[in-house]
Amino acid sequence: MQYIKLAEDLKFSRIIHGLWRLADWNLSTNDTQTLIEQCLDRGITTFDHADIYGNYSCEKLFGQALAQKPSLRESMQLVTKCGIKLTSDKYPERKINFYDTSKEHIINSANESLKNLNTDYIDVLLLHRPDPFMDPQEVADAFIQLKEEGKVRYFGVSNFKRSQFDLLQSFLPFSLITNQIEVSPTYLNHFEEGTIEQCQQHKIAPMAWSPLGGGSIFTAEDERSIRVRNKLTEIGEEIGAKSLDQVVYAWLLAHPATIMPIVGSGKMNRIDVAIQALDLKVNRMQWFQILEASKGRPVD
């Protein structure tokens, strides 16, 4: 496993495990504990959560496993998110999904996450979505308080565009340490909009969610996805990959921005595929071949 230094005393494993669908995997608490331990055994030490995952249930499922063996906590880095308010049977007063980045909500949400995860501290708290109704001073106040209370060590964002990142950063006395964005061979927006360039400029490593396009690289039948799948297959043969998803991981890992893919699988064999991608090398021409297949045209 590779480790990426995000701050003086914070390292992430290059491959991150994502708990987005934990509630769908129908695991017992023992099964979840086993999954966590198997990840840790393989060197995956960073786990990605959000308050809302699984209709507000995934953090708790993970926390129950952690409660069975609290010593695991110090071997891992916990990332979670706040800022979205989902319609839910648990919140019948909500008429729509919306964002809330008020000081009150950020602090309440972080406290709730601490409780659910059965931990004293969150390593990194992310704002889940850029909020067009954001008061950056309120966010700063919330972050500073959570840091001073020792509840959250570091802060970042997710899905933030350049201007949104700049705005929030300008109100903070410390650096945002990551931007978790969607990146996959069929979702290139953050290459095109300069988000990844901004990470490079700030010397921060982006986390990549849905690296497999939500599974579409395996199954989607649109023209673009087929083109990409064929090219991934071809490059996979050249580099000795075992599977399509492994080529995708290798493609992401090859990029100089030090992208950290989030693997959101409950199956150890899919997780191993990602880990083994660290040993594969997608060269520059191959990287562009996949890019070209996605764009459907050569570079200029």
DSSP annotation of 205: P
CB closer to a second copy out of 44 and 253: 253
Nearest to 208 by CA among 159, 173, 161: 159
Residues known to be catalytic: 53
Q: Are the beta carbons of 76 and 33 closer than 8 angstroms? A: no
Asked if 198 interacts with a second copy (CB under 8 A), we say: yes
Single-letter amino acid, residue 254: A
Q: Are the beta carbons of 168 and 195 closer than 8 angstroms? A: no
Q: Least distance in Å: CB of 227 to a second copy?
A: 13
Asked if 173 interacts with a second copy (CB under 8 A), we say: no
Helices (H), 240-295: 244-254, 268-277, 284-295
Q: Considering only the stretches 6-14, 209-217, 262-270, 281-289, report the one whose residues sit in contact with a second copy under the rule CB under 8 A.
A: 281-289
Give the residues across from 80 on adjacent strands.
Answer: 125
Among 201, 219, 230, 233, binds a second copy (CB under 8 A): 201
CB closer to a second copy out of 144 and 268: 144
Sketch the per residue contact string, 121 through 160, with a second copy: x for CB under 8 A, - otherwise: --------x--xxxxx-x--------------------x-
Asked if 71 interacts with a second copy (CB under 8 A), we say: no
The site that binds a second copy (CB under 8 A) totals a number of residues, namely: 44
CA atoms of 21 and 265, how far apart (whole Å): 8
Asked if 197 interacts with a second copy (CB under 8 A), we say: yes
Residue with tokens 């609290």: 70
Q: Considering only the stretches 33-41, 51-59, 116-124, 163-171, report the one whose residues sit in contact with a second copy under the rule CB under 8 A.
A: 163-171
Residue 165: in which H helix or E strand, if any?
helix 162-170
Q: Considering only the stretches 32-40, 52-60, 194-202, 265-273, report the one whose residues sit in contact with a second copy under the rule CB under 8 A.
A: 194-202
Residue with tokens 């933030």: 160
CA atoms of 184 and 174, how far apart (whole Å): 30
CA atoms of 267 and 31, how far apart (whole Å): 11
* Tokens linked to 158: 């997710």
Residue 245: in which H helix or E strand, if any?
helix 244-254
Sketch the per residue contact string, 206 through 245, with a second copy: x for CB under 8 A, - otherwise: ----------------------------------------
What is the contact surface with a second copy in residues (CB under 8 A)?
A: 84-85, 94-100, 102, 129, 132-136, 138, 159, 161-164, 166-167, 170, 191, 194, 196-198, 200-201, 255-256, 284-285, 287-289, 291-292, 298-300
